[in-house]
Amino acid sequence: MPTFVDSDEEEEEESWQEWQEDNIDVEQTRVVCLFCEETADHAAPLLGHIKNVHNFDILGVIEKEKLDVYERVQMINYIRKENYNARCFVCGKADLGSLQKLRQHYADNDHLSKGLPDKSVWCTEENLVPIFDNDHLTWMLESYIDEREVSTQIEETTTVFGNIREYLLKQSEVNSVEGVIAEDLPELHDGALADFNLYESLK
């Protein structure tokens, strides 16, 4: 016989799943957290939320595992699917039965800080397909990564030009002669053209 606790957990799980489906809308571009109901307009604040609140560093995992674009999509879809089904995506524990117990399992075992399981578990063709048709996290994540790479390239280029300028200035100081200013031109006195008769004879 189901208890009131079981009933409450089932109701919470069903309402959360319905909320996810309803709130990932075609006309919206908000991204939904992998682990709770938090949403954001852009990937950056949501990635910060996932890292700071849930202790799962998506960008850190991508960098550590050197995931390409397809593997990043598979990772997001795999985690989303496992959470939707109240299964631990880290250890595979499948008898939790509710989202509430899954969250408690994550907290008790500090699973989210451990990263991903072996690639053979989640790096599959099946996980190239999102569980929700309008899950914006995958493409927004790619856009954010592209923006970061462009920003990094600009910073590196600016740094290189700054270093070159500083080097040239130092070389100029080293090669300078005391008392001589590069912009100074020698004064011309009694030039040939100053002789009017000579000037006329050259016409």
| pLDDT tens by residue, 87-125 | 999 988 888 888 889 988 988 878 788 889 999 999 999
pLDDT at 64 (0 to 100): 92
- Residues 193 and 136: their CA atoms lie apart, in Å, by 79
What pTM value is reported for the model?
A: 0.61
User: Are 29 and 136 in contact, with CB atoms under 8 Å apart?
Assistant: yes
Distances (CA, A) of 195 to 31, 69, 185, 188: 84, 79, 22, 13
Residue with tokens 């799980």: 13
pLDDT single digits (tens) 2-57 = 454 555 555 655 555 555 555 544 445 788 999 988 999 889 999 999 999 999 99
CB 12 within 8 A of CB 100: yes
Domain locations along the chain: 27-151
pLDDT tens-digit series, residues 177-190: 565 555 554 555 55
Mean pLDDT over residues 149-169, rounded?
Answer: 63
Report the alpha-carbon distance of residue 20 to residue 158 in Å, rounded: 43
Residue 169's pLDDT band (cuts 50, 70, 90): low
- The rounded distance, in Å, linking the Cα atoms of 107 and 113 is 10
Amino acid at residue number 50:
I
For residue range 124-142, what is the model confidence (pLDDT) as tens digits?
999 999 888 778 898 899 9
Percent helix, strand, coil in the chain, to 5, is: 65, 0, 35
Question: What's the confidence (pLDDT) of residue 48?
Answer: 95
